[in-house]
Amino acid sequence: MKNSIYKDYAELPLFLNADTAAKTLGVSPASGYELLHENGFPTLRLGSRIVVLKEGFIRWVEEHTGGAG
Work out the burial of residue 25: count CB atoms within 10 Å of its CB; fewer than 13 is exposed, 13-18 middle, 19 or more buried. Answer: middle
DSSP 44: E
Please, which residues bridge with residue 51 across strands? 44
d(CA 53, CA 17): 9
Residue 12 has pLDDT above 90, yes or no: yes
pLDDT in tens, 22-68: 999 989 999 999 999 999 999 999 999 999 999 999 999 999 888 65
Q: What residue segments make up the domains of the chain, in order of their start?
A: 9-64
Residue 1 has pLDDT above 70, yes or no: no
Domain 9-64 -> CATH class = mainly alpha
